[in-house]
């Protein structure tokens, strides 16, 4: 029986137990949730670039963005057949359909007389390929000057009496010092159930700003992201850290031919003159009137690309690295870090979506049986605990957390192998066994068998410390699972 | 005739101090000369601190570099400034590492080594780095202090920066144009204003953010709403650096730095120079008053023998008063001793109360969550809470010490004022109008309270907090004993987790207590030492003053007694001489007062 089936089973039993109770319809919703796309929240402090990144991931300018504080209401973006916006009132009343229109692509929702504080969340249904793999949740930043808005996010992410609404989280972090209290606290502010390296990825957002728009800014950002990812306090809460220049990624996803034509005019300038022109944002707007670009066009280019984006795009065009709009879009997406983020998302979240969804559901059930015990609920609770403690994917996740928390100790190389083997870098066999992505079945089988023998030896070695031995047994089970799946003999 | 204040009050005062010194020399008053020599020294080497503060990676070091037009503070995308850098004027570029030891030590290093000492991890034990470069902007004593933005504005480091700001003339608050001011930045500004009244908000990186005008307006609004009267000056260090390199004045204007430089020159440097000049001029005026009193007494004694007897009798009575003033049981002295004792106990009580509250809060926080999850956050939280409480405790000490210093000064003034007035009574010449008494009050009032600050500055220096930070690291929780075997077990998972959690919570609470004990101990000693220094400083100051008065009075007495024995011709001649001296002294005093008043 798979984890998904077991979870569905215990959920059905819980629905029977709680029939006729307030909790019943929530349980039914939980059951739907198992069939829906994974829910990924985009969280982080105010002005971290959450909406911009969300747009980049969707590939459309949906969420409104602005230089000032902008996102005021928690907003769900999900795939559907029709375009629709619903408002869920804060007092728990009936959801209300709202009117909306698009302003330069971004959604402008008419709250229809509701104050932002009266709305618990907005639910946007939007036919989109990208939203089919994940429902995205945009949040107002924490640390906002408006306390009300911050509280909304808090409620969404730390829901006490109901299930955690999101299955996984993208934490957007700006470049902060590792001693920064804000930095450490950011995770607690936005914790989803528990700070957990299992369901969270860190995004070093606005990465182009780290080098203040120098052409090597992204390289600098990557170095910093790597350092952050090895920082102990970061490792405890996120799996990895990926640098992303959100604005550039968003623009690359929605690049127009007209914009490329405008950029070509700048790229046609001699290097020195282009450099002078791009020395500051103000200069770009005001200097060289003979360029054939109006101030309005220039300002809009700046708004879309940022100074770093214009510098990068014109350099690419001038050097001929990119010649067409498609080329340029591809290059910019790659260089913005979005491609890497997508890969990481897919290997760490999407390939593991069932485990993550089951985890959310089981945690919710666990909370419910404790806060609202009823006749028969103890049986449900016992079964939930049984699944949580015995299902192999969960044991893997727990060992992963334990490694990240520093409880499992050993030689760094051994620990790194262990982490990979139990799916720390992604759950495909190639990633677990550190093989190239195109490794064929016999190669994978051979590697899995080798790993199995190696870890069996480690588990039985009397010199191996207790914690590592326990973890090793989980690793053995992971190897066996891979071998069984590939149809090899044990 | 009071001279109109010229453009450069410092230069004017410098000549006045020289004149005063010559007078002291001529009348053989080496004690008064010592006072003026001190004033002369502080005029020659003025120090005006401007502290640059702000969050991590807002461009503080770049701003300092652009401001002085030299690469003195290391800039990096990732690595941060670890210790404060003091950038000041020097004929040749030199650099030194400062160690806050007893006595403070400095080690000369080459300019190339500055980077290694300033950026993280820094040099062990270093409290700061001083870089001297020849710059016109710094020539009038401006010292620009680049601080670490480590740990965010709520952190212990921020509290240390605030403590440093208490000694500064002005604060440059740096925030970049990426976003409007955040809550923690505004909170920091509120606190900063308590410590240092002149604050300017530099909006950096305006070359990179096209929407900087909007951010500037938003920030101005936020500041107005919070009633923080700090001007927002948009700047771009990139353009300024380029402008300096290519000597392009149009680009310099575009960089926005011209306005910042103007602010520093006018509002900060100018004001500090005025105050410095005022202080020195007040010393000159005070010295003149004492010399005048002496001559006036003699002149009164010279009128006729009856008057002379009267003057001698009065001066003898004054001598008794002055002796009282010098005695250990003088009222000002009692006030000082009692005041310091009270202050000692109050400051200590305040500190203990604050630490106790922190422990309570920490206990509550520990109860709420598992230390295994929160300890890494708990530690900086604790450090920052403690640092802010220490800062509040220090503020109490500062305010109370200033008040005490005022009280002691007031008592001294009452006693000595009487004395001085008495000398003046027998001969109410038209020159000795009420204005004289007035200006004396004015002068004394001005100088009162300053004494405590002088003591505080020498005792505290603001560096303490940074040093404390070094001592505070390493609050460790023993190994977190959550065995993985238990995590993997099926039964009793929750109970065992709970048991272990309770054990960790107790461990954490003990760690917090140990730490707070240590802080209490170190800080308690430090504030006692500070208060002792203040006491010594005040005592020495007023004892010297009493000695000066005593000497003035003795000399007046001696010359009055001598006057009795003189012949009429001698008297006439002496009166004429004295009048000439008095005119000179009065003129000097009036000139000095003109500077004090302006």
- A46 vs B contacts (CB less than 8 Å): 179, 182
**B509-528: per-residue pLDDT in tens?**
888 888 888 888 877 887 88
β-pairing, B142-146 with B85-89? antiparallel
Q: Pick A16 or B486 by higher pLDDT.
A: A16
Across the range B448-453, mean pLDDT stands at: 54
Mean pLDDT of chain B, nearest integer: 79
| pLDDT value for B496 | 65
| Residue A189: pLDDT over 50 | no
Partners of B172 in beta bridges: B52, B200
Give the 3-state secondary structure of residue A125. strand
> What gap in Å lies between CA B85 and CA B198, rounded to an integer?
20
Write out the two tokens for B264. Answer: 């520093």
- A181 vs B contacts (CB less than 8 Å): 151-152, 154-155, 377, 380-381, 384
> What gap in Å lies between CA A450 and CA B401, rounded to an integer?
75
> What gap in Å lies between CA B167 and CA B464, rounded to an integer?
12
| pLDDT value for A395 | 83
> What gap in Å lies between CA B266 and CA A24, rounded to an integer?
72
Cα-to-chain-centroid distance, residue A83: 24
**B109-158: per-residue pLDDT in tens?**
888 888 888 877 777 777 788 899 998 888 888 889 888 876 666 666 77
Q: From the CA of B100, how many Å to the nearest CA of chain A?
A: 23
- A177 vs B contacts (CB less than 8 Å): 56-57, 80, 149-152
User: Which of A202, A163, A192, A197 has its CA nearest to residue A34?
Assistant: A163
How many Cβ atoms are within 10 Å of B81's Cβ, its own excluded? 24
| Residue A190: pLDDT over 70 | no
**B411-440: per-residue pLDDT in tens?**
887 777 655 544 443 333 333 333 344 444
> What gap in Å lies between CA B123 and CA B97, rounded to an integer?
9
Q: Band the pLDDT of B350: cuts 50, 70, 90.
A: very high
User: Which of A340, A341, A314 has its CA nearest to residue A328?
Assistant: A314
User: Which of B198, B249, B169, B57 has its CA nearest to residue B462?
Assistant: B169
Q: Could you say which of A46, A233, A306 has the minimum Cβ distance to residue B376?
A: A233
Report the residue of chain B nearest A217, measured CA to CA.
B77
Write out the two tokens for B255. Answer: 């960089």
Contact between residue B559 and residue B570 where contact means Cβ atoms under 8 Å apart: no
Report the residue of chain B nearest A384, measured CA to CA.
B490
Q: Any idea what the Cα angle at residue B145 is, between residues B144 and B147, rounded to 5°?
A: 150
> What gap in Å lies between CA A85 and CA B264, rounded to an integer?
54
Contact between residue B165 and residue B51 where contact means Cβ atoms under 8 Å apart: yes
Across the range A288-305, mean pLDDT stands at: 90
Percent of chain B with pLDDT over 70: 83
Q: Could you say which of B206, B373, B381 has the minimum Cβ distance to residue A181?
A: B381
> What gap in Å lies between CA A3 and CA A384, rounded to an integer?
11
Partners of B170 in beta bridges: B50
Distances from the Cα of A470 to the Cα of A290, A396, A403, A418, B328, angstroms: 72, 11, 12, 12, 78
Q: Could you say which of A180, A227, A405 has the minimum Cβ distance to residue B151?
A: A180
Whose tokens are 């709420």? That residue is B368
User: Which of B295, B597, B336 has its CA nearest to residue B443?
Assistant: B597
How many Cβ atoms are within 10 Å of B449's Cβ, its own excluded? 18
| pLDDT value for A257 | 92
Across the range A265-280, mean pLDDT stands at: 92
**B535-564: per-residue pLDDT in tens?**
888 888 888 888 888 888 888 888 888 887
Q: Could you say which of A47, A177, A466 has the minimum Cβ distance to residue B150?
A: A177
Contact between residue B236 and residue B256 where contact means Cβ atoms under 8 Å apart: yes
When mean pLDDT is compared across A206-210, B377-381, B587-591, the lowest value belongs to B377-381
Q: Do the Cβ atoms of A179 and B238 come within 8 Å?
A: no
**B271-317: per-residue pLDDT in tens?**
888 888 888 888 888 888 888 888 888 888 887 777 778 888 888 88
Per-window interface: A 30-59 vs B, CB < 8 A: 46-47
**B242-254: per-residue pLDDT in tens?**
999 999 989 999 9
Across the range A277-290, mean pLDDT stands at: 90
How many Cβ atoms are within 10 Å of B389's Cβ, its own excluded? 21
| Residue A453: pLDDT over 90 | yes
Mean pLDDT of chain A, nearest integer: 83
> What gap in Å lies between CA B190 and CA B95, rounded to an integer?
34
Contact between residue A232 and residue A193 where contact means Cβ atoms under 8 Å apart: no
Report the residue of chain A nearest B62, measured CA to CA.
A212
- B174 vs A contacts (CB less than 8 Å): none
> What gap in Å lies between CA B588 and CA B275, rounded to an integer?
19
Q: Could you say which of B77, B482, B493 has the minimum Cβ distance to residue A407?
A: B482
| Residue A149: pLDDT over 90 | no
Q: Band the pLDDT of B456: cuts 50, 70, 90.
A: low
| pLDDT value for B5 | 43
Q: What is the DSSP letter of B119?
A: B
Contact between residue B212 and residue A249 where contact means Cβ atoms under 8 Å apart: no
List, in order, residues 6 or more apart from A221 with CB less than 8 Å away.
Answer: A175, A204, A207, A208, A210, A211, A243, A245, A337, B77
Contact between residue B58 and residue A210 where contact means Cβ atoms under 8 Å apart: no
Burial A114-149 (b: 16+ CB within 10 A, else e): eeeeebbbbbbbbebebbebbbbbbbbbbbbbbeeb
> What gap in Å lies between CA B494 and CA A230, rounded to an integer?
31
Distances from the Cα of A167 to the Cα of A23, A73, A191, B563, angstroms: 20, 19, 11, 102
β-pairing, B48-54 with A119-125? unpaired
Contacts A–B by Cβ distance under 8 A = 157
For every residue of B31-48, DSSP letters joined together read: HHHHHHHHHHHHHHS--E
| Residue B466: pLDDT over 50 | no
For helices A257-267 and A295-319, angle between their N-to-C axes, nearest 10 degrees? 70
> What gap in Å lies between CA B598 and CA B274, rounded to an integer?
8
**B213-231: per-residue pLDDT in tens?**
999 999 999 999 999 889 9
**A5-45: per-residue pLDDT in tens?**
999 999 999 999 988 877 888 888 888 888 899 989 888 77
List, in order, residues 6 or more apart from A415 with CB less than 8 Å away.
Answer: A403, A408, A409
| pLDDT value for B434 | 36
| pLDDT value for A299 | 93
> What gap in Å lies between CA B316 and CA B426, rounded to an integer?
14
Q: Pick B368 or B465 by higher pLDDT.
A: B368
Cα-to-chain-centroid distance, residue B384: 23
Contact between residue A236 and residue A384 where contact means Cβ atoms under 8 Å apart: no
Report the residue of chain B nearest A392, measured CA to CA.
B488
Contact between residue A386 and residue B490 where contact means Cβ atoms under 8 Å apart: yes
Phi, psi dihedrals of residue A282, rounded to the nearest 5°: -60, -40
Give the 3-state secondary structure of residue A199. coil
> What gap in Å lies between CA A35 and CA A357, rounded to an integer?
9
| pLDDT value for A386 | 84
Q: From the CA of B44, how many Å to the nearest CA of chain A?
A: 41
How many Cβ atoms are within 10 Å of B438's Cβ, its own excluded? 10
> What gap in Å lies between CA B511 and CA A98, rounded to an integer?
55
Q: Pick A198 or A300 by higher pLDDT.
A: A300
Burial A207-231 (b: 16+ CB within 10 A, else e): bbbbbbbbeebbebbbebbeebbee
Contact between residue A356 and residue A349 where contact means Cβ atoms under 8 Å apart: yes
Q: Pick B428 or B27 by higher pLDDT.
A: B27
**A455-489: per-residue pLDDT in tens?**
999 999 888 888 888 889 889 999 998 998 887 55
């Amino acid at each position: 029986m798979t984890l998904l089936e077991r979870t569905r089973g215990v959920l059905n039993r819980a629905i029977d137990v709680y029939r006729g109770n307030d909790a019943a319809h929530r349980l039914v919703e939980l059951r739907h949730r198992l069939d829906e796309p994974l829910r990924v929240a985009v969280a982080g402090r105010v002005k971290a670039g959450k909406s911009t990144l969300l747009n980049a991931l969707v590939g459309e300018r949906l969420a409104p963005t602005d230089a000032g504080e902008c996102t005021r209401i928690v907003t769900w973006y999900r795939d559907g057949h029709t375009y629709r916006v619903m408002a869920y009132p804060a007092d728990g009343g009936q959801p209300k359909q709202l009117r909306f229109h698009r302003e330069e692509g971004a959604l402008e929702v008419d709250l229809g007389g509701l104050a932002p504080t009266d709305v618990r969340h907005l639910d946007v249904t939007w036919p989109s390929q990208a939203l089919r793999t994940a429902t995205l949740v945009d949040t107002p930043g924490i640390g906002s000057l408006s306390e009300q808005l911050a509280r909304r996010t808090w409620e969404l992410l730390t829901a006490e009496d109901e299930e955690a609404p999101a299955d996984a989280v993208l934490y957007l972090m700006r470049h902060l010092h590792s001693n920064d209290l804000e930095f450490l606290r950011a995770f607690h502010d936005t914790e989803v159930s528990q700070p957990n390296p299992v369901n969270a990825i860190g995004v070093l957002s606005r990465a182009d700003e780290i080098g203040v728009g120098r052409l090597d800014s992204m390289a600098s950002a990557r170095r910093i992201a790597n350092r952050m990812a090895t920082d102990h306090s970061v490792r405890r809460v996120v799996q990895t850290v990926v640098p992303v220049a959100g604005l550039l990624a968003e623009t690359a996803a929605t690049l127009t031919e007209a914009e490329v034509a405008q950029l070509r005019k700048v790229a046609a300038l001699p290097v020195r003159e282009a450099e002078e022109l791009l020395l500051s944002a103000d200069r770009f707007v005001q200097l060289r009137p003979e360029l054939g670009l109006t101030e309005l066009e220039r300002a809009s280019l700046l708004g879309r690309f940022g100074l770093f984006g214009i510098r990068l795009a014109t350099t690419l065009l001038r050097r001929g690295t990119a010649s067409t709009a498609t080329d340029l879009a591809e290059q910019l997406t790659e260089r913005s870090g979005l491609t890497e983020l997508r890969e990481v998302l897919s290997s760490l979240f999407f390939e593991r979506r069932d485990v993550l969804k089951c985890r959310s559901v089981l945690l919710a059930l666990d909370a419910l049986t404790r806060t609202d015990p009823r006749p028969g609920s103890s049986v449900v609770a016992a079964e939930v605990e049984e699944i949580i403690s015995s299902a192999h994917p969960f044991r893997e996740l727990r060992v992963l957390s334990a490694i990240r928390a520093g409880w499992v100790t050993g030689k760094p190389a051994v620990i790194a192998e262990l982490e990979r083997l139990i799916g720390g870098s992604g759950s495909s066999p190639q990633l677990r066994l550190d093989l190239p992505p195109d490794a064929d079945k016999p190669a994978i089988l051979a590697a899995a068998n080798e790993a199995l023998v190696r870890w069996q030896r480690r588990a039985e070695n009397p010199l191996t410390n207790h914690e590592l031995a326990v973890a090793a047994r989980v690793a053995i089970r992971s190897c066996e699972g891979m071998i069984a799946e590939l149809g090899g003999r044990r | 005739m009071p001279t109109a204040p010229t453009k450069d009050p410092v230069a004017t005062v410098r000549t006045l101090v020289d004149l005063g010194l010559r007078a002291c020399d001529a009348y053989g008053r080496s004690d008064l000369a010592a006072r003026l020599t001190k004033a002369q020294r502080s005029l020659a080497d003025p120090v005006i601190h401007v502290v640059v503060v702000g969050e991590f990676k807002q461009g503080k070091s770049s701003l300092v570099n652009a401001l002085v037009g030299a690469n003195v503070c290391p800039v990096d995308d990732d690595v941060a400034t670890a210790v404060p850098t003091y950038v000041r004027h020097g004929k040749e570029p030199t650099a030194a590492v400062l160690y806050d030891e007893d006595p403070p030590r400095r080690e000369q290093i080459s300019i190339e080594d500055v980077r290694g000492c300033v950026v993280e991890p820094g040099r062990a034990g270093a409290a700061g780095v001083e870089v001297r470069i020849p710059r016109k902007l710094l020539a009038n004593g401006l010292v620009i202090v680049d601080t670490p933005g480590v740990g965010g504005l709520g952190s212990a480091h921020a509290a240390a920066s605030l403590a440093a700001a208490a000694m500064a003339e002005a604060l440059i608050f740096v925030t970049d144009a990426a976003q409007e001011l955040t809550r923690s930045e505004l909170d920091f500004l509120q606190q900063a204003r308590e410590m240092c009244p002149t604050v300017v908000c530099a909006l950096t990186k305006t070359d990179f953010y096209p929407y900087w005008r909007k951010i500037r307006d938003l920030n101005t609004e936020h500041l107005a709403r919070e009633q923080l009267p700090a001007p927002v000056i948009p700047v771009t260090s990139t353009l300024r650096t380029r402008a300096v390199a290519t000597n392009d004045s149009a680009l310099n204007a575009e960089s926005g730095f011209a306005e910042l430089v103007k602010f520093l020159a006018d509002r900060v440097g100018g004001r500090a120079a005025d105050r410095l000049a005022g202080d020195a001029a007040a010393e000159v005026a005070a010295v003149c008053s004492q010399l005048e009193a002496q001559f006036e007494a003699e002149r009164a004694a010279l009128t006729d023998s009856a008057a002379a007897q009267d003057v001698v009798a009065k001066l003898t009575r004054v001598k008794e008063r002055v002796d009282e003033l010098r005695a250990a049981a003088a009222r000002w002295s009692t006030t000082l001793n009692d005041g310091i004792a009270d202050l000692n106990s109050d400051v200590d009580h305040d500190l203990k109360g604050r630490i106790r509250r922190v422990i309570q809060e920490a206990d509550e926080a520990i109860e709420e969550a598992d230390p295994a999850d929160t300890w890494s956050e708990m530690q900086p939280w604790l450090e920052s809470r403690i640092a802010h409480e220490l800062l509040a405790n220090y503020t109490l000490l500062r305010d109370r010490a200033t008040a005490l210093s005022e009280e002691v000064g007031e008592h001294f003034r009452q006693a000595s004022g009487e004395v001085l007035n008495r000398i003046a009574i027998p001969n109410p010449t038209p020159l000795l109008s009420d204005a004289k008494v007035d200006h004396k009050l004015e002068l004394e009032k001005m100088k009162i309270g300053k004494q405590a600050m002088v003591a505080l500055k020498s005792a505290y220096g603001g560096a303490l907090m940074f040093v404390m930070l070094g001592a505070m690291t390493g609050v460790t929780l023993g190994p977190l004993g959550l065995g993985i075997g238990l995590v993997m077990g099926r039964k009793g998972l929750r109970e065992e987790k709970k048991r272990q959690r309770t054990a960790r919570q107790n461990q954490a609470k003990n760690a917090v207590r140990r730490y707070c004990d240590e802080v209490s101990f170190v800080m308690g000693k430090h504030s006692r030492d500070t208060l002792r220094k203040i006491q010594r400083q005040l005592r020495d100051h007023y004892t010297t003053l009493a000695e000066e008065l005593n000497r003035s009075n003795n000399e007046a007495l001696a010359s009055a007694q001598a006057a009795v024995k003189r012949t009429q011709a001698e008297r006439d001649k002496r009166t004429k001489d004295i009048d000439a001296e008095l005119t000179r002294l009065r003129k000097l005093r009036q000139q000095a007062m003109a500077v004090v008043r302006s």
